[in-house]
Structure 1
Amino acid sequence: MVVRARVTPFFNNPGGEQITVNISSHDCDHHHPERDVLVKLSADTSSITVGSIITFTVQVFNNSRGILTNAFLFNPTPTGTVVPNSVTVNGFPQPGASPVTGISLGTIPVQVNFVSVTYQFRVVSVPSPAEIIGQATLTGTLLFSRGRQVAISVLSNVATIPFPGACIPLQATNNGIIAREGEGVKSFIKIANPSRSPLLFKLLSHPKHGCMKLLIDGRYAYKPNRGFSGEDIFTVLVVDPVCHFTAIARVIVQVKKKRCHHHKYSSSSSPHSHSHYDSHYDSHSHPHSHSHSYSHPHPTHTLILVSVPTAIPKVVLNPVVVHVPRSNPFLHRKRSLAIHATPNPSILESTAIYQMPC
């Protein structure tokens, strides 16, 4: 826009006549042209900790009356390292570009609404204070009418990202486990890690009564020595390489001794069914029963069926003893035996006791 004005100059004008001067509005841009170039910075702060990736987005607005040429965008690493090949301009990848050395934006005409730039940083250490601060800088040259050029350098807003994972010392927790005699167990080192840093694990002392294997991520496998039961202990050093904290985890293993169990299986659905097995039900209780010391080509297990009449709850009838070969594959696989029988109408409850020798 051109404004025509008639002015009376005070210098070199002895006659006082008026002079017509043409003033263009473009000539007013030379005072602060960078005010019409805006740079807005934002960051994805959904989850920030050591090892996280922060995505920054920059929008460049050219509201001036000049054309922005040779535009470059800079952003120093805010407590992190640049993720390779993460730069895009208006959605198009820019291989090899880096905000540290400068992202070339070329020429930004006046008619363009804005230019969008994205790039990523990976957090490699804990900041102090516990926040990440990012700010971008845009440089370039504005070209106005009549060939006038103005170099600019525009700062974006400051993006402050709170860092919840500040350095907090590691805290060892209960690492007690239970193992069975002669059987292996798998577990992992438990430790409180408020900083959420990646941890390293190193075995300090080996167990005295077993063997174990420790992985670098804290998982381990332990197996007690044959015949051992009792308490076994080993220790693990836990290292936080980011915050430089260490802790010692003490693992206490309780090795339980195997026991011989008597399994009971009730053939009655009544919750009040009872079974009574007395020591006098031995090999002399039945003419066809055999003791465990008897030499037999097929060792047997003893199955005792006890029936309790409803009318006489305290009287136990003579048990029926059934011999089942020890080599029975069903028993070897299931370690149990189901009995199906039609009870006497006067008997409401019947219980089968299967005695499994150790």
Structure 2
Amino acid sequence: MADSSEALLETPLAALHRELGGRMVPFAGYSMPVQYPAGIMAEHLQCRASAALFDVSHMGQAELVGEGAAAALERVTPADVQGLKPGRQRYGLLTMEDGGILDDFMVANLGDRLFLVVNASRKHLDLPRIAAVLPAGVALKPLPDRALIALQGPGAVAAIATLAPGIAGLSFMGVGSFEIAGVPALVSRSGYTGEDGVEVSVPAERAEAFARALLALPGVQAAGLGARDSLRLEAGLCLYGNDIDETTSPVEAALTWTIGKRRRTEWNFPGADRVREELANGTRRLRVGIRPEGRQPARGHTPVHAPGGAAIGEITSGGFGPSLNGPMAMGYVAREHAADGTALELMVRGKALPARVAPTPFVPHRYAR
């Protein structure tokens, strides 16, 4: 959260959020809508049932251009960027020399350049880190003049495809350029909700008109940060700063799938020594899904204990899942307590609440594979 003494930045949709009754809160240095008058529960269920529009323009967007851009980016990530085909996108981690996670990010191959999306709270660290490793002839171009809008839900693609039919032809993690309601747009079939949907990068000065065109489509409603958080937690997706950070490794975070097969033979990425050691010998702790018994949610920083015993970990994200119709959490526990079904106790306000380790996602993903 931003220091209240600092002036908050605004996205190109700030006036629209206020017009729609958005309750604005500080988030990653920006004034962002946490919810609209319908409320978080309704916005969450709207996304699961039809289509919800989220403003994610606070995220950092950039392009990497020049011969050898993919190989250059691999100097800061274990992801296989060189193997990414044109028109495809991939999720990856920026790792540190000690094996910690600097950030998570998305990279797309646009043929003549790479397109990157990094977290709002980390872009001031990520972009200089990437720029520092680039050889002559490869340039990083931040795109502060672009907005990013996510349209998520089972009805999202059908709705936006009425404006640009070609979008329906994208598969999960496919990327393409389209003109939508007269606005040039870069569209990826991806998102942060577990639902089918798209994320759309558009010029900032056209963002409000573009968002209004989407909100005018049948079945589309605006949703805020509150619903975005409950949706991503039901989907078992990490939030940087909560579930992953500079102290967690890709192995502890159960994100080893982001490490390319070729990269596991080269071991030439930051933190490779730690990752290799942990893959061979295991970690002390692991990120797991947790289902509290009963109805009471357990929030982040709740201590996790073995039943009747010592502390074995901590919850990093927790809340109530509207689609799950129950509480859910994720966090880190000692490896010997990480198997699905393992009994746990969550210390909520001094009281031990029974819980179990549970597989994620809590609500099945519905990506268009």
Which TM class, normalised by the smaller chain length? Answer: under 0.3
Q: Flag the structure with higher strand content.
A: 1
- Taking structure 2 as the reference length, the TM-score comes to 0.17
- Taking structure 1 as the reference length, the TM-score comes to 0.18
Q: Flag the structure with higher helix content.
A: 2
> Which protein, 1 or 2, shows the higher relative CO under an 8 Å CA cutoff with sep ≥ 6?
2
